[in-house]
């Protein structure tokens, strides 16, 4: 199924079409004023089991509980001996009030099971989980990994359950944080996609939309489970995590080599990117950054964009090919099996990030420079991912969220607050592994090919930059921005 064939019917919510250029996409807007419709959306559901307590699970369980009140019980399921038990209890999910239990018990007693454990754990336990699901219940995912894993093994989901996905386009921490901001500003939240893989109850669409609205998604767009995991797993390896990490490492070194102090090099690379560049994109779009520059700044931006774009395009295609072939998922599963012997290492112990701690401590927000070279590299790689995802047939909403909005409204504010590890390591294990794998690739490719081309004043392909000013993505972002209130992203 391609994006052209996507559409859905809902009796509970209000479907709208958004139209950009040649495409029309069906969406549902969210907001707290719709919480009264949740009982209708979850008709037949007495209990939602949230399995796991990672960043997504803990955010979603709390948002769902707050949104649903007494209408539907939200019960957390953990494996025996889980190290997260205390944290769940502290958040109010307890055995005493019937909202915390052993995972298979919770799976077997819920009409809707949100399976939010790590991908590695899913690969280990999916057969037992499938066996524990009752017929005519709904299995919910926030990520298409399991479909990829099953496909690779020639297996499939159990036939007698709905299989749906609601995938917030932001890390778990911001799914919770923006939901709380939504109490003040109705509609604040993290956008989500939804997908209907199987619908045996005939209620799959409304359950998915109800789930997304209850999470606080300002708007919910449709995708397929396959399209979701291809763009999600590729996007986090690309500009969202791996790309942005590799970019700032390479720029920090470059600026130091050009004579900046350590602190200034950090300001012009990381601080500039996570601060003014990201917030300008959030408020005025990608083109807003460019338009804000003076003539000399625009020249520098264009040069940087032109050399970074082809490097980004090549890497995003490599990532996407490896995700689509199953290699990347297979690596994630194998890495999970090595964790006992080789736990995941820290990524923020090198000098650069120690400098960053000092710079953040002394930060005066309005003094952070908007460096045009940094902006050009970042937006060049971002646009490469946008173009690759367009070529690969993803819906516009998915492209905008997986390449731009998630970066500037969810992830980069975390790096801005406390550095690269605070962003990367608050994401899923699959994302953390992917960021560790691909950040160095972006760094080397920029260092080996993009920057030498600038320094040698080599002839570069100017077509991608020429296409930038009138790119359809600007209109897509403008329409997406209209769907939600402008909220200053605040990360503690």
Does 334 sit near its own copies (CB under 8 A)? yes
Q: Compute the chain's Rg from CA coordinates.
A: 22
Residue 393 interacts with its own copies (CB under 8 A)?
no
Q: How many CB atoms lie within 10 A of CB 267?
A: 24
Which positions from 246 through 265 interact with its own copies, judged by CB under 8 A?
253, 257
Apex 366 CA angle, 363 and 369, nearest 5: 85
Contact range with its own copies by CB under 8 A, out of 63-71, 92-100, 268-276, 338-346 = 338-346
Among 45, 335, 375, 407, binds its own copies (CB under 8 A): 335
Q: Is residue 79 close enough to count as binding its own copies by CB under 8 A?
A: no
Query: Is residue 36 part of the contact set for its own copies (CB under 8 A)?
Result: no
Q: Does 339 bind its own copies (CB under 8 A)?
A: no
Of 143, 149, 245, 416, the catalytic one is: 143
Tell me the C-alpha to C-alpha distance, in Å, between residue 453 and each of 165, 313, 443, 460, 461. 43, 16, 15, 8, 11
Burial class (CB in 10 A: 0-12, 13-18, 19+), 430: buried
Q: Are 62 and 88 in contact (CB under 8 A)?
A: no
Pairing outcome for strands 192-198 and 73-78:
unpaired
Buried b / exposed e along 19-57 (16+ C-beta atoms within 10 A): ebeeeebbbbbbbbebbebbbebbeebebbbbbbbbbbb
Q: Cβ 326 to its own copies, closest distance in Å?
A: 8
Judged by beta carbon, residue 318 or residue 475, the one nearer its own copies is 318
Identify the residue among 19, 325, 357, 462 touching its own copies (CB under 8 A): 325
Cβ distance 286 to 473 under 8 Å? yes
Report if residue 155 touches its own copies, rule: CB under 8 A: no
d(CA 340, CA 265): 37
Tokens of 309: 């774009």
Sort strands 138-141 and 73-78 into parallel, antiparallel or unpaired.
unpaired
Q: Do the strands 112-115 and 23-29 form a parallel or antiparallel pair, or are they unpaired?
A: unpaired
Query: Is residue 391 within the footprint of its own copies (CB under 8 A)?
Result: no
Find the shortest distance in angstroms from Cβ 268 to its own copies: 18
Q: Residue 212 and residue 64: Cα distance in Å, rounded?
A: 9
- When binding is defined by CB under 8 A, the residue of 322, 371, 398, 409 that contacts its own copies is 322
According to CB under 8 A, which one of 90, 202, 342, 361 is a site residue for its own copies?
342
Identity of the residue, 357 or 448, whose beta carbon is nearer to its own copies in the bound complex: 448
Q: Active-site residue 474, yes or no?
A: no
Query: 335 or 477: whose CB is closer to its own copies?
Result: 335
Task: By CB under 8 A, name the one of 15, 79, 226, 437 that touches its own copies.
Answer: 437
In this chain, which stretch among 26-34, 37-45, 275-283, 343-351 interacts with its own copies, using CB under 8 A? 343-351
If you ran DSSP here, which 8-state letter would residue 194 be given? Answer: E
Could you tell me the smallest distance in angstroms from the CB atom of residue 246 to its own copies? 8
Q: Which residues contact 341 (CB under 8 A, 6 or more apart)?
A: none
Which one among 321, 367, 469, 482 touches its own copies, defined by CB under 8 A?
A: 321
> For residues 65, 69, 70 and 76, what is the CA-based torsion angle, rounded to 10 degrees?
10
Rounded Cα distance between 170 and 407, Å, is 8
Residue number, 98 or 393, with CB nearest to its own copies: 393
**Least distance (Å) from its own copies to the CB of residue 297?**
25
How would you classify the pairing of strands 15-20 and 23-29?
antiparallel
Question: Does residue 152 come out as left (phi exceeding 0), alpha (psi in the -120 to 50 range) or beta?
Answer: alpha
Rounded distance, CA 331 to CA 354, Å? 30
Choose one: 22-30, 118-126, 131-139, 321-329; the region binding its own copies (CB under 8 A): 321-329
| Nearer of residues 147 and 313 to its own copies, judged by Cβ | 313
Give the nearer residue to its own copies in terms of CB position, either 351 or 482. Answer: 351
User: Which member of 292, 331, 392, 417 binds its own copies (CB under 8 A)?
Assistant: 331
The token duo for 49 is 């089991």
Q: Whole-number minimum distance, CB 43 to its own copies, in Å? A: 44
Percent helix, strand and coil across the chain, each rounded to 5? 60, 10, 30
Q: How many residues bind its own copies (CB under 8 A)?
A: 39
Binding test (CB under 8 A) with its own copies, winner from 157, 255, 305, 451: 451
- On whether the CB atoms of residues 267 and 369 are closer than 8 A, the answer is yes
Residues 14/27, Cβ–Cβ less than 8 Å: no
Shortest separation between residue 351's beta carbon and its own copies, angstroms: 7
Q: Which is nearer to its own copies, 160 or 327 (CB)?
A: 327
Among 447, 472, 481, 491, indicate the residue that binds its own copies (CB under 8 A): 447
> Does 162 sit near its own copies (CB under 8 A)?
no
349 binds its own copies (CB under 8 A): yes
Would you say 440 or 485 has its CB closer to its own copies? 440
**Contact status: 43 vs its own copies (CB under 8 A):** no
Residues catalogued as catalytic: 143
User: What is the binding site for its own copies (CB under 8 A)?
Assistant: 253, 257, 313-314, 317-318, 321-322, 325-328, 330-331, 334-335, 338, 341-342, 345-351, 436-437, 439-441, 443-445, 447-449, 451-452
């Amino acid at each position: 199924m391609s994006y052209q064939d996507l559409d859905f019917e809902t009796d509970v919510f209000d479907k709208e079409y958004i139209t950009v250029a040649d495409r029309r996409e069906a969406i549902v807007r969210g907001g707290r004023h719709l919480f009264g419709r949740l009982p209708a959306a979850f008709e037949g559901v007495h209990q939602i089991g949230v399995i796991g307590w990672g960043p997504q699970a803990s955010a979603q369980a709390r948002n769902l509980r707050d949104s649903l009140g007494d209408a539907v019980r939200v019960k957390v399921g953990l494996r025996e001996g889980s190290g997260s038990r205390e944290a769940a209890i502290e958040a109010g999910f307890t055995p005493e009030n019937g909202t915390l239990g052993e995972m298979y018990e919770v799976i077997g007693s819920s009409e809707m099971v949100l399976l939010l454990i790590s991908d590695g754990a899913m690969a280990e336990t999916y057969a037992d989980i499938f066996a524990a699901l009752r017929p005519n219940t709904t299995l919910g995912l926030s990520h298409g990994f399991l479909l990829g894993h099953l496909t690779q093994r020639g297996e499939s989901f159990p036939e007698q359950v709905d299989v749906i996905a609601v995938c917030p386009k932001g890390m778990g921490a911001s799914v919770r944080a923006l939901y709380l901001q939504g109490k003040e500003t109705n509609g604040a939240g993290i956008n989500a996609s939804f997908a209907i893989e199987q619908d045996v109850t005939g209620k799959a669409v409304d359950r998915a939309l109800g789930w997304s609205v209850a999470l606080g998604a300002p708007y919910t767009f449709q995708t397929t489970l396959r399209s979701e995991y291809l763009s999600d797993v590729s996007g986090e390896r690309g500009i969202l995590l791996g790309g942005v990490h590799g970019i700032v490492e390479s720029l920090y070194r470059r600026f130091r080599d050009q004579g900046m102090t350590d602190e200034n090099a950090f300001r012009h690379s990381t601080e500039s990117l996570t601060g003014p560049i990201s917030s300008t994109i959030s408020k005025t779009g990608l083109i807003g950054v460019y338009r804000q520059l003076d003539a000399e700044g625009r020249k520098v931006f264009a040069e940087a964009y032109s050399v970074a774009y082809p490097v980004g395009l090549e890497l995003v295609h490599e990532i996407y090919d490896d995700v689509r072939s199953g290699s990347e998922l297979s690596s994630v599963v194998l890495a999970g099996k090595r964790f006992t012997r080789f736990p995941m290492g820290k990524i923020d112990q090198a000098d650069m990030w120690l400098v960053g701690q000092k710079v953040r401590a002394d930060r005066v927000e309005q003094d952070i420079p908007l460096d045009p070279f940094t902006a050009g590299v970042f937006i060049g790689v971002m646009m490469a991912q946008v173009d690759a995802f367009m070529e690969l047939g993803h819906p516009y909403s998915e492209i905008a969220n997986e390449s731009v909005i998630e970066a500037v409204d969810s992830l980069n504010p975390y790096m801005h607050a406390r550095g690269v590890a605070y962003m990367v390591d608050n994401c899923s294990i699959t994302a953390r592994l992917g960021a560790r794998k691909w950040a160095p690739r972006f760094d080397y490719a920029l260092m080996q090919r993009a920057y030498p081309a600038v320094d040698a004043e080599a002839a570069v392909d100017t077509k991608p930059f020429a296409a930038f000013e009138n790119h359809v993505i600007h209109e897509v972002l403008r329409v997406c921005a209209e769907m939600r209130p402008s909220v200053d992203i605040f990360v503690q």
